[in-house]
Amino acid sequence: MPTTAREVRLKSRPVGMPEASNFEVATVQVPDPGPGEVLVRNSWMSVDPYMRGRMYDRPSYVPPFALGEALQGGAVGTVVKSNDPKFAEGDLVDSMFGWREAFVAPAAALNKLPQTGVPAQAFLGVLGMPGMTAYSSFHRIGEPKAGDVVLVSAAGGAVGATVCQIAKIRGCTVVAMAGSDSKLDWLRTRGVDAGINYKVGNLLENVRAAAPKGIDIYFDNVGGEHLEVALEAARPFARFIECGMISIYNAKEPPAAPRNMAYIVGKRIKMQGFIVSDFIDMRDQFFAEMGQWVKEGRVKWEETVENGVDRAPQAFLNLFTGANTGKMLVKLD
Amino acid sequence: MPTTAREVRLKSRPVGMPEASNFEVATVQVPDPGPGEVLVRNSWMSVDPYMRGRMYDRPSYVPPFALGEALQGGAVGTVVKSNDPKFAEGDLVDSMFGWREAFVAPAAALNKLPQTGVPAQAFLGVLGMPGMTAYSSFHRIGEPKAGDVVLVSAAGGAVGATVCQIAKIRGCTVVAMAGSDSKLDWLRTRGVDAGINYKVGNLLENVRAAAPKGIDIYFDNVGGEHLEVALEAARPFARFIECGMISIYNAKEPPAAPRNMAYIVGKRIKMQGFIVSDFIDMRDQFFAEMGQWVKEGRVKWEETVENGVDRAPQAFLNLFTGANTGKMLVKLD
C-alpha cells in the first residue's frame, strides 16, 4: 500500500545568500519496498552549512544537488516495513536521503543505530557526522598536546562546540569565538576558558587578550577575517584545521582576507583541509570514546529545532545568520 | 698584524622595494685572532631572498639585521690564521658572518668543508642552504610519489631549480614557472617536462595546459597570484610546500590574492610552511644523497656572479627583478 510523503526540493540555485524561493515542498507517492528494500519514516533531519556548497553547479568532492529533486543530507528514522533480513520494523536507522518524510531505499544504504538511551537526534550531532568531523580532524590534523591553546571559530555550532569540549578533555586551553553572548555563556558552562563575541569590538585585539602568548591550534569553520586573525595570533608550528569557510560560501566577490598568508612560511604553520570521510578509519575509535564521553556527561550539546519538513529551508537560511545554537535540526512527526 | 677588510652594512631599513641607498660599504680593522679564534678570508658570499625579511624591525624566527652592522649571511672562505687546533691555514670553511671580506670568529662558529673537487661555491648552493631547503622540504612536506605532478615557482632560482631536478629523480612530472625563456630553456635541459614564462599570457590557462589533470605538489617561493593559480590547479590531497612568498616581501599593500582559499577545505589541501633548520635531522642524508647526485651529474646548477664585496647590494636588488639565473653569488678576490 503506497504512502505519501512531503519532501523539500531545490527549485533554483542561490546566487549569494540563499532565499526561501530557492526551495519548494512537494508531495510524492512512496512505493512499497521491493525485494531487499526498506521503507523508512524519518523522525529527525539534519541541516548543515556544507549543503550550501552542493547548491552550486560545479565540480566538487560530491556532485551538486539536482534541481527539482529532494536535497540529500543526514536523517534519522524508523523502519516501517522491511524486505531485507538485516532490518526489522521499529529499527532506528540513519541515512543520507535527506529532506523527506519517508522513503524507500536498498538496505545497503541504511545504517542501523544502537538503541542506547541516547536521544535519536544525537546520531545527527555529537555521535553523528558533526561529532565525527570534530573528533577526527582535531586529533589527526590538530595533533593536540595538553597545554596547547586552541582557538575555535563558529564555536556555538554543532562541530565547534564539540571541538571545544574535546579540547578541554585533552587538557588544552580553549578560546571560543561565536556571534552571541548566550552561545558563549553556554560554552563557558562546558569549561571553555574564554569566549569572544566576534560581533563586538576588534576581533584581533580580543583574541590577543584571551590568548596573550598566541595559539597552537586553530579550528576554522569560517575563513576570511577569522582566518586572518588566527594567522596573526598563531605561534610557531601552529596547526590550522580547515573544516569550513562559512564566511565566504555565499560571497559574490572574492574575500579580501586573509591578507597575511606570509605567516604560513615564517611561523611554519600547517594548514590542512579535510572531509570527514577522509578519516573513516577512526570511526570505531570515535564511537567508543565519544559514546563514553556522552554517557559520562563530559560532552554535551545544544540543539535548535524546527518542526515539520516544510521548515527545513528556513532552518537552513538561519544557519547563515547565526540563529542556531548548537546542532540545527528539523523534527518530523 | 691586524688586517683591513671591507664590509656591507645596512644603513637604513627599506620601505617597499630595497634601494642601493639602504646599504653602505665600510672598511674595518680585523684584529688578530685570540685564543680559540680563527681569521677567515671569504672567497664567496651568498645573496638570498630571505634576507629581505630580516631588514624589517619586527619579531620573526631570526632577529632583524641591526642598522650600521654588516649583513649576516652564508659565506665560504679560507682559514688565514688559526688559534684553534680544529682548523689549519688553508682549510675551506663556511660561516654565517655574511657580507665582509674577512673576519675573526670563534672556531665553534665555523664549519670545515670537504675538499672534494666540487667548486667551493656549491656549498652556498646545491650542497648548502638552498640545496638543503629544497631537499628536506620536498621530501618531508611534499611526500612525493612517482607519477606525481609537481608545479615549481621561481624555478630558475637556486632552490627552485634544485627542486625541479630532485622531483625528476623521484619520477615526478615537473612543470616549472619562471620569468624568462632562457631560464626555462636551461630547466628543460635538466629534464623538466614543461616550462611556463609567468610574464607571458594567462598563468592559470598555461598551468592548466601543462598539467591538464592538475597538480599534486606545489613548491611555493612566490605566494600571491602564483599561489592562487596553484590552488585552482590542485588535485585532491595536494601538498603545498610553503618555502617563501617573494611576491609580497616588498609589498606596501596587502596582496589581493589568493582569493580562493576555500579550495583548501574542498580539495583537502595540506599547506605547510617551514624553515630549513626545522629539518636539521635530514642533514646527513642530504649530504650523502645530494653529494652523490652532484658527483654523477644528475643535479646541476647555474649561478649568477657579481665580483667584489661592494657589489653585494646590487646583487641583492637584482633578486627582486629576476635578473639572476640560479644561485646569486658574490665572488671576492
Same-domain check for residues A143 and A259:
yes
Supply the pTM of this predicted model.
Answer: 0.87
Q: What is the pLDDT of residue A322?
A: 77
Contacts of B259 in chain A (CB under 8 A): 254-255
Report the residue of chain A nearest B264, measured CA to CA: A273
Average pLDDT over residues B212-233: 96
| Residue A191 DSSP label | T
Same-domain check for residues A255 and A158:
yes
Average pLDDT over residues B277-298: 93
Q: Which of A259-263, A271-275, B80-84, B145-149 has the lowest mean pLDDT?
A: A259-263
Decide if B37 is inside a domain: yes
Same-domain check for residues B66 and B23:
yes
Q: What is the pLDDT of residue A156?
A: 92
CATH number at residue A94: 3.90.180.10
Same-domain check for residues A63 and A25:
yes
Question: Is residue A136 pLDDT above 90, yes or no?
Answer: yes
Decide if A152 is inside a domain: yes
Decide if A142 is inside a domain: yes
Tell me whether residues A271 and B275 touch, CB distance under 8 A: no
CATH number at residue A257: 3.40.50.720
DSSP H or E segment with residue B208: helix B203-210
Number of C-beta neighbours around residue B315 at 10 A: 21
Reported confidence tier of residue A2, pLDDT bands at 50, 70, 90: low
Average pLDDT over residues B10-36: 95
Tell me whether residues B255 and A259 touch, CB distance under 8 A: yes
Q: What is the pLDDT of residue A264?
A: 96
Same-domain check for residues A257 and A136:
yes
Number of C-beta neighbours around residue A50 at 10 A: 20
Residues of A with CB under 8 A from a CB of B: 53, 60-61, 223, 227, 236, 242-245, 248-249, 254-256, 258-275, 278
Asked if B160 contacts B299 with a C-beta cutoff of 8 angstroms, the reply is: no
Decide if B108 is inside a domain: yes
In tens, the pLDDT along A63-83 reads: 899 999 999 999 999 999 999
Average pLDDT over residues A293-312: 95
Same-domain check for residues A18 and A106:
yes
Average pLDDT over residues B236-258: 84
Q: What is the pLDDT of residue A325?
A: 79
Q: What is the pLDDT of residue B118?
A: 87
Asked if B103 contacts B64 with a C-beta cutoff of 8 angstroms, the reply is: no
Compute and round to an integer the Cα radius of gyration of chain A: 20
Q: Bigger pLDDT: B80 or A255?
A: B80
Decide if A284 is inside a domain: no
In 3D space, the residue among A1, A83, A79, A81 whose CA is nearest the CA of residue A34 turns out to be A83
In tens, the pLDDT along B125-139 reads: 999 999 999 999 999
Same-domain check for residues B190 and B269:
yes
Contacts of B267 in chain A (CB under 8 A): 61, 273
Same-domain check for residues B201 and B170:
yes
Mutate to test the interface with B, among A252, A261, A263, A270 (most CBs of B within 10 A): A261
Contacts of A48 in chain B (CB under 8 A): none
Question: Is residue A257 pLDDT above 80, yes or no?
Answer: no
Tally of domains within chain B: 2
Asked if B264 contacts A242 with a C-beta cutoff of 8 angstroms, the reply is: yes
Nearest to B268 among A249, A259, A275 (CB): A275
Tell me whether residues B271 and A270 touch, CB distance under 8 A: yes
Same-domain check for residues B133 and B242:
yes
Decide if A287 is inside a domain: no
- End-to-end distance of chain B based on CA atoms, in angstroms? 20
- Which residues constitute the domain of residue B250? 129-277
Nearest to A267 among B227, B248, B273 (CB): B273
Average pLDDT over residues A87-110: 95
Q: What is the pLDDT of residue A141?
A: 98
Q: What is the pLDDT of residue B63?
A: 84
Q: Bigger pLDDT: B254 or B192?
A: B192
Q: What is the pLDDT of residue A199?
A: 96
Mutate to test the interface with B, among A208, A221, A264, A267 (most CBs of B within 10 A): A264
Asked if A155 contacts A190 with a C-beta cutoff of 8 angstroms, the reply is: no
Q: Bigger pLDDT: A220 or A114?
A: A220
Average pLDDT over residues B196-201: 97
Same-domain check for residues A71 and A37:
yes
Contacts of A221 in chain B (CB under 8 A): none
> At B196, is the secondary structure helix, strand, or coil?
strand
Reported confidence tier of residue B305, pLDDT bands at 50, 70, 90: very high
Residue labelled with grid coordinates 596547547: A148
Decide if B48 is inside a domain: yes
Contacts of A278 in chain B (CB under 8 A): 268
Number of C-beta neighbours around residue A65 at 10 A: 21
Decide if A110 is inside a domain: yes
Q: What is the pLDDT of residue A255?
A: 74
Mutate to test the interface with B, among A228, A252, A265 (most CBs of B within 10 A): A265
Average pLDDT over residues A1-9: 88
In tens, the pLDDT along B96-134 reads: 999 999 999 999 999 998 877 789 999 999 999 999 999
Report the residue of chain B nearest A274, measured CA to CA: B268
Asked if B175 contacts B196 with a C-beta cutoff of 8 angstroms, the reply is: yes
Same-domain check for residues B165 and B228:
yes
Q: Which three cell numbers stand for residue A128?
A: 553523528
Same-domain check for residues A268 and A150:
yes
